[in-house]
Amino acid sequence: MATYVVAVRREAQSDTVTAEEWVCQVPGVQVKGAGNPSRVVIEASLHAVSEIERRFGDKVVVEPEVRHERLP
């Protein structure tokens, strides 16, 4: 499973539903980092990510997490 960042679209931020609540409705999603109601880090299969986009694409944006390591 890959790691993704899910963010609530600006237009949908007035909704009372958090990013974590949106993604938890899809089977196969594991929340790895939450705390900000408009953003969550998840681990999910490509199928689960496709399902999030299909169900909630008008409410959230899903992008692969990109990590940068500092060079010594």
CATH superfamily of 2-64: Malonyl-CoA ACP transacylase, ACP-binding (3.30.70.250)
* Domain boundaries of the chain, sorted by first residue: 2-64
The confidence score (pLDDT) of residue 41 equals 96
- The two beta strands, 39-44 and 29-36, are antiparallel
Residue-wise pLDDT tens for the chain (72 aa)?
899 999 999 888 877 889 999 999 999 999 999 888 999 999 999 999 999 999 999 999 999 998 778 776
Predicted structure pTM score: 0.86
Q: Please tell me the distance from the alpha carbon of residue 7 to that of residue 40, in angstroms, as a whole number.
A: 7
The confidence score (pLDDT) of residue 45 equals 95
The confidence score (pLDDT) of residue 70 equals 79
